[in-house]
Amino acid sequence: MVLWWIGNAVLLFVVLPVVVALLNRVLAAVERIRAAADDILVGGVRLAGQLEPVPEALARTDRTIGEVAVGATRYAGSVAKLLG
């Protein structure tokens, strides 16, 4: 019976504070992760708002590439005639 009380005392005064301290560290890390995830979400939403004009810019880029390709083809054809 005395060993039972000693075991309970060790559990109460040694193991329980260690468990509480470890739980506190884990919860602090979880809170830091949650704060970082919230910051990432805010940044992602802000970035998504900046992406709205991208399709128009890509269409303009595609037109420019097409125009350059036509000009390069004409130039290459002219050079081929001069060298051939």
Q: How many domains does the chain have?
A: 2
Residues 8 and 18 in one domain: yes
Residues 41 and 69 in one domain: no
Residues 33 and 62 in one domain: no
Residues 7 and 32 in one domain: yes
Residues 27 and 42 in one domain: yes
Domain residues for 44? 1-52
Mean pLDDT value of segment 34-61 = 91
With 80 as the cut, is the pLDDT of residue 84 above it? no
Residues 5 and 43 in one domain: yes
Compute the distance between CA of residue 76 and CA of residue 81 in angstroms, rounded to an integer: 9
What is the dihedral sign for C-alpha 30, 31, 36, 37?
positive
Q: What is the pLDDT of residue 24?
A: 97
pTM (whole model) above 0.75: no
Residues 65 and 40 in one domain: no
